[in-house]
Amino acid sequence: MFTGLFPLIKLILRRDRVKLPIWIFCFTAFLLLMLPLLHEMYGDAASLNTLFETFSANAAGIFLTGVMDSPTFGALMTIETLLWWGLAIAFLNILLIVRHTRQNEEMGAQELIQSCRVGRSTSLVAVLIIAFLTNLIITVALGIGMSILNYDSWSTGQAWLYAITMGLFGMVWAAITAIIVQLVDSARSAVGMMAGILGFAFLLRGVGDFMGSPNAAGIIQPKWFSNLTPFGWAQSTRALTHPDWLPILIPIIFIIVAASVAFFLMHKRDVGAGIFPSRKGRSRASHFLKTPVGLAWYIQKKTFIGWFVGISVFIAVIGALVSEMSSVFDANETVRQLIESIGGTGALIPAFLSTMLALAVIAVSGYTIQGLNKLRSEEASGYLENVLATHLSRIKWLFTHVGIVLFCGALLLALSGAIMSITANIGTEYNINVLDYVLAALSYFPMVLVFAGAYVLLFGLIPRAAATIVWVYYGFLAFATWVGPMIGLPQWIMGISLMEHFAAVPADNLNIAPLIVCSVVAIAAIITGTITWRNRNLTTS
């Protein structure tokens, strides 16, 4: 099992010598940056108290951030960072493991490696060691950082508990991924499945936290099923508030068990295959598949279905939470007064849903980018070469894909609005106008169009960098929308994010101007991108 271990470890480090350090640095730096930023805005006792009251009342917020245990800076830091950075470190580990296991096999590299003096499971050992070291480095960096920048809100021991919680959380996801890559038959399926598991775990924890009730000390305890998820385990150490070291045993045991299962499965399968055998297919292509639209749809199908399921489930749960919210408001006198002062529940629900709609729009934009990235992946993989050698023109091919993605994007927007309002109506006395929400969602289409335009433009000009650039801007936009107001990002930075310029419909009134500007710019970008695409060489990676 250990033959050839060091060369393999060196290989992984060499391949990721730029990527890993950047990820580790960004992750740690941004997290530690939250400390001064949050403290600046809300560090004083008065603000913390107000926040505590608001968060305890806003059950739906708990769904997304977890419980704020106490009016302390530690509690605030936890709800702002634990889950979100948790997602980030989960992705870091997932992508790392898939890259050096499944993806290796797909590239054929695994065959070559395995034919050398290397044990059967050595590559898995190697990548798990790298994951462990990565998580360890992050833990140490966080531990040191949070001990220094503690604003007298927590002890050094607590800082290290937080860091270790985060590191273990990452390792848990590495272990789960190690199992999944043994079961599925492609790297893409592995990442897709992990995203689904991650989403499900987050959702389960969210519902559990949301439905929690206060214990004797008045601290809200999540319902038991929260603790079935790695997110729940991470939260239960309550590092920065009421530290409890015992819960770290759960992830540790889980990691050991999961890793063992992964090795067991690895010994049972061939290199390049999954445990589930591949099935045969059809010997003739259907009529639809033979058309340019049919072929493009085949290529786009999986991406759309994945996002469709994810967004639908997420939105349905949000809508369902609305009915729960009213009972919380009735129970708490202070909260009821607070709410009545801002216009009553009549104003609160639309405001809340409009914010959630904005999140749905961000999700749909993510789908748009991933769908359009098929343009590049078809080109880079060499599949496009065969297609362009037929009498399908470049422009028709491009427009077919862009058309499908934009149509599906609009569909997802409309669906988000519809599902959200319908589920909010069920079981409550609210009678939200579904059409209002569908139209409100569709009014965000110009934003989706802008992402499409940006991608197509870059695809024509600098195809290799297109995905990276657009995703980075997307990440910024998501971050600014979600965390921006909380940490008081200056207005000029917020202004770079498109979302700032869109009104939060339907609660606010629609602002036509940004819609027109965005549409015009996006269409111009698409046209320019198409022209440059027509005039450039076809390049594989």
Partner 1 sequence: MCYTISMNVIEANNLVKKFGSVTALNGLDLTVHKGEIHGFLGPNGAGKSTTIRILLGLLKKTSGNVELFNKDPWSEPVQLHRKLAYVPGEVNFWPNLTGGEIIDILGELRGGLHEERRKHLIRRFQLDPAKKFRTYSKGNRQKVALIAALASEVPLYIMDEPTSGLDPLMENTFQEEIRELKKADKTIFLSSHILSEVEALCDRVTIIRDGKTAAVYTLAELKKEHANLKKVFLEEYGEK
Residues in contact with partner 1 by CB under 8 A are 186, 278-285, 289-292, 295, 298-299, 381-383, 385-394, 535-538
Please state the length of the chain: 541
C-alpha to C-alpha distance for 119 and 134, rounded to whole angstroms = 23
Q: How far is CA 391 from CA 118, 241, 292, 298, 388, in A?
A: 48, 66, 11, 19, 7
Q: Which is nearer to partner 1, 215 or 537 (CB)?
A: 537
Instruction: Output the smallest distance, CB 69 to partner 1, in A.
Output: 48
Q: List Cβ<8 Å contacts ≥24 apart for 16-19.
A: 16/96, 16/99, 16/130
Instruction: Output the smallest distance, CB 283 to partner 1, in A.
Output: 4
Q: Which is nearer to partner 1, 196 or 294 (CB)?
A: 294
Instruction: Output the smallest distance, CB 362 to partner 1, in A.
Output: 30
Instruction: Output the smallest distance, CB 109 to partner 1, in A.
Output: 16
Which conformational region is residue 285 in: left (phi greater than 0), alpha (psi within -120 to 50 degrees), or beta? Answer: beta
Q: Which is nearer to partner 1, 47 or 291 (CB)?
A: 291
Q: Which is nearer to partner 1, 6 or 298 (CB)?
A: 298
Burial string for 347-371 (b: 16+ CB within 10 Å, else e) reads ebbbebbbebbbbbbbbbbbbbbbb
Instruction: Output the smallest distance, CB 317 to partner 1, in A.
Output: 32
Instruction: Output the smallest distance, CB 186 to partner 1, in A.
Output: 7
What is the DSSP annotation of 289-320? TTSHHHHHHHHHHHHHHHHHHHHHHHHHHHHH
Q: Which is nearer to partner 1, 283 or 509 (CB)?
A: 283
C-alpha to C-alpha distance for 3 and 12, rounded to whole angstroms = 16
- Residue 284 token pair: 């003739």
H or E segment and range at residue 259: helix 249-267
Q: How far is CA 238 from CA 23, 166, 231, 252, 314, in A?
A: 26, 12, 12, 17, 26
Q: Which is nearer to partner 1, 156 or 381 (CB)?
A: 381
Instruction: Output the smallest distance, CB 179 to partner 1, in A.
Output: 22
**Using an 8 Å Cβ cutoff, are 62 and 209 in contact?**
yes
Q: Which is nearer to partner 1, 244 or 385 (CB)?
A: 385
> What one-character DSSP code corresponds to residue 44?
S
C-alpha to C-alpha distance for 30 and 447, rounded to whole angstroms = 26
Instruction: Output the smallest distance, CB 491 to partner 1, in A.
Output: 43
Q: Which is nearer to partner 1, 101 or 226 (CB)?
A: 101
Q: Which is nearer to partner 1, 201 or 295 (CB)?
A: 295
**Using an 8 Å Cβ cutoff, are 318 and 416 in contact?**
no
Instruction: Output the smallest distance, CB 95 to partner 1, in A.
Output: 20
